[in-house]
Amino acid sequence: MMFMTSPLRVVVGVIIGMIAAGAGVSAAAAPAPATTATRPTIDQKCQRLADRWRERFDAERMTCIVSPPFVVAGDGGRQRVNRYVDHTIRAAAAALHEKFFDRARPDEPVLILLFESAESYERLAKKWLGDEPTTPYGYFRRDNIMVMNVGTGTGTLVHELVHALIRPDFPGVPEWFNEGLGSLFEQCTLAECDIRGLENWRLPALQRAIRDKKLRPLKELINDADFYGDHHVGLNYAQARYLLMYLQEQGKLAEYYKRLRTEQAEDTTGLKTLEAVIGPKSLAEFEKEWRAWVLRLTFP
């Protein structure tokens, strides 16, 4: 069956076209609105990121594995990189999401560069990113790139992974808590979507400061707006780490994180939320018990 176009439809079409032309409207030039269907998925973003870096990875004979939201490249061979992805990165990420980061996941790729030696770590951080690392272990950049010297172990890999995953879940997280949580899992156990921090190398310096009466009160640590500025920054990391480990041992760490995330507008430092979580104990009583607990720990 054939359909004929009536003269009336032709006239109406011409008039509409003239109106559009007079208004300067061009159907071809109008941008299509962004929709969920046209927006790239995290899988697509990760693949595009891997493709952009492919030439550099090939030149250094690095294995690249796309495992959204991560793009992982390492110079230790495919089998070794696979182990990092399966047994450290994805295992730790699953446990952290299960226990803490249950509100938001990364919607942008996280690029993880794994170097087996200090030489390749320092050389390629400089060549590719213009960085001169200030730590021999690894670091997380604000453009979602983790640069790691895994020749020193995988503890720092989990530490920096915490920073990458907490960022979308709690954008306004206080620095002391961010670094304390990352440091907590430098030495940890991973099993069945559970992650627990263990005693580590930061303990002796903290114990020494307590014994020598040189450790500032927890209130000062938490309220300090410049976590990195003090020349005792290493002690800041240790104090924050073992505070969170104590809450972990009391079964209150996940609760504290989630309450702090919810109440951050009213409690930007986390001090009021900590006092609520440890109640009815006062902060002074809690700190006295915390210091005694720290002194009983041993490492190694």
pLDDT digit string, tens, across residues 266-300: 999 999 999 999 999 999 999 999 999 999 999 98
pLDDT higher than threshold 50 for residue 23: no
- Torsion, CA 199, CA 205, CA 206, CA 207, rounded to 10: 90
With respect to residue 9, please indicate whether it lies within any of the assigned structural domains: no
CB 157 within 8 A of CB 89: yes
Domain extent at residue 51: 38-169
Q: pTM value?
A: 0.86
Residue 15 in any domain: the answer is no
Separation of alpha carbons 61 and 63, rounded Å: 7
Q: Please report whether residue 212 resides in a domain.
A: yes
* pLDDT exceeds cutoff 50 at 3: no
Kind and range of the H or E run holding 118: helix 118-129
CATH number (domain holding residue 67): 3.40.30.160
Phi, psi of 191 (to 5 degrees): -160, 125
Which band of pLDDT confidence, cut at 50, 70 and 90, is reported for residue 232? confident
Q: Is residue 99 part of a domain?
A: yes
Q: Do 107 and 217 fall into the same domain?
A: no
Q: Does 80 map to a domain?
A: yes
Looking at the structure, tell me whether residues 86 and 209 fall in a common domain: no
Q: Is 69 in contact with 109 (CB distance < 8 Å)?
A: yes
pLDDT at position 35, please? 60
64 plus 139 within the same structural domain? yes
- Number of Cβ within 10 Å of residue 278's Cβ equals 20
The pLDDT assigned to 19 comes to 34
- Output the six-digit token pair for 80: 């070794």
Number of domains in the chain: 2
Residues 234, 118 share a domain: no
Give the N- to C-terminal CA distance of the chain in Å, as an integer: 87
* Residue 267: inside a domain: yes
Q: Note whether 148 and 229 are same-domain residues.
A: no
Residues 88 and 143 in one domain: yes
- As a whole number of angstroms, the distance between CA 110 and CA 102 comes to 18
* The pLDDT of residue 194 is above 70: yes
Question: 63 with 146, same domain?
Answer: yes
Return the pLDDT at 33. Answer: 56
Residues 298 and 227 in one domain: yes
* Residue whose pair of structure tokens reads 């009466």 in the numeric block: 213
> Which of 150, 169, 188 marks a domain boundary?
169
Domain limit, last residue, from 169, 190, 220 = 169
Q: pLDDT-derived band of residue 178, with 50, 70 and 90 as boundaries? A: very high
Q: Is the pLDDT of residue 36 over 70?
A: no
Q: What is the mean pLDDT of residues 157-171?
A: 98
Q: Examine the domain organization and report whether 149 and 243 are in the same domain.
A: no
Same domain (yes/no): 122, 219: no
The answer on 235 and 149 residing in a single domain is no
Picking from 153, 169, 185, the residue at the C-terminal end of a domain is: 169
> In terms of domains, do 74 and 158 share one?
yes
Beta-carbon neighbour count of residue 187 at 10 Å?
20
Is residue 7 situated within a structural domain? no
Residues 73-82: pLDDT tens digits? Answer: 999 999 999 9
Does residue 159 lie in a domain region?
yes
